[in-house]
Amino acid sequence: MEKDFYDLIVQRLNRSLSGSGAKKLDDWLSADEANQQLFNEVELLYERDDLPAVPGMPDPKEEWQRLAAALGLPGDDAAVNPFKHLPLQTVNESSAWSRYIMIAAAVFLVAATAWFLLPDSTDKWQTVATEFGQDRDVRLADGSLIAMVGGSVLEHPAAFSENDREVRFSGEALFSIEANPAQPFRIKAGPAEIAVLGTRFNVRERNNSLRVVVHEGKVQLSSLKNNTSVILTAGQTAVILPDGRLSKASDLSRETLAKWEQQDCLFEEELLSTIISELERRFYIRVDTVEGLDLKVRFTGSFPKEMSPDSILSRVGKALAFKHQKQGERYQLLPN
């Protein structure tokens, strides 16, 4: 891939891409499904400082230090994720240093992506990642369907074993799992493990906390930190907090269940700062705030999946006493 496209990807990930550059990258992404897949994988690496442990995988820090030494660059830990730690303005053609950094970053990302997708000794694992603002349905080998919301990552084997179905997940999705008592389905997601037989349920994982909402069937939600678990049946929900505490099962109204199943935008006593992060994830927008705006105020409400971020911000702003201005895909929140 041409270096220009790495530059454009970096700008897209930093949310500073616009104009002809944005069109050039969009044309490149739509030209070939492999290009979109590469972008998703690079974005995944950009968001994560670590790579999953895979037997035989080279250590990324050691490999970066080796590559940096070959190029005569410093090999400190801050350089392990070059795109994430480099100021965007240093990436240009005028500087030999920037040119070497971009080359090293490109090589590192391509190599890291290849290592990340390497199969282990027993299963060929595949990764599906959705960028912010992108929804995607994934059909697994057993027929199960996973409706992923933007900013989510699913890792699954190309074929399940005879006795077990296991996937790894982060983000938000609606799971519709094919029933097979002889082949239990397990999801490892952040601080939790979810065991199911055949059911429909939502998973929302954010900042090492997790919520499950069950629509059909039954699941067992387990906290990996505290070794506690709870059985959830249709119409129930439970939450695992960042410290590992697991809530009791609680019942939801039919109206709330329907909103979860439709993957609407739901907020329950959420901080304004959390709402901003969620809108950025769902709609791939940038929301800036000014000094003096209270980000610790809380809001409860829900909005249809199809509602625009402009309309959502207007309604939340009316309740929390702020207004917003829009410039392209950027929003600025201001106190009333």
Q: What is the DSSP string of 105-155?
A: HHHHHHHHHHHHT---SS--EEEEE--TT--EEEE-TTS-EEEEPTT-EEE
Phi and psi of 73, rounded to 5°?
-110, 160
Residues comprising the chain, all counted: 336
pTM for the model: 0.63
The ranges assigned to domains in the chain are: 3-116, 125-261, 265-335
For residue 74, give the amino acid letter.
Answer: P
Phi–psi pair at 215, nearest 5 degrees: -105, -40
Q: What is the pLDDT of residue 73?
A: 55
Q: What is the pLDDT along the chain (336 residues), one digit of tens a residue?
A: 555 676 778 777 766 677 777 778 887 887 777 777 777 777 766 655 444 444 444 555 555 555 555 555 554 544 444 444 444 333 343 433 443 344 345 444 544 444 444 444 345 899 999 999 999 999 999 999 999 999 999 999 989 998 899 999 999 999 999 989 889 999 999 999 999 977 999 999 998 899 999 999 999 999 999 999 999 999 999 999 999 999 999 999 999 999 999 999 999 999 999 999 999 999 999 999 999 999 999 999 999 999 999 999 999 999 999 999 998 889 999 999
**What span, in angstroms and rounded, lies between the C-alpha atoms of 278 and 276?**
5
Q: Distance (Å, rounded) from C-alpha 75 to C-alpha 79?
A: 7
Q: Residue 60's pLDDT is what? A: 54
CATH of domain 125-261: 2.60.120.1440
d(CA 234, CA 217): 6
At residue 84, the pLDDT reads 43
Q: Specify the DSSP element, H or E, that contains 7.
A: helix 3-13
Q: What pLDDT score was predicted for residue 313?
A: 97
* Strand 153-157 relative to strand 125-129, pairing: antiparallel
- Pairing between strand 145-148 and 185-189? unpaired
Torsion sign (Cα): 241, 319, 314, 317: negative
What top-level class would CATH report for the domain 265-335? Answer: alpha beta
- Tell me what pLDDT residue 287 has: 96
Q: In this predicted structure, what is the pLDDT of residue 151?
A: 93
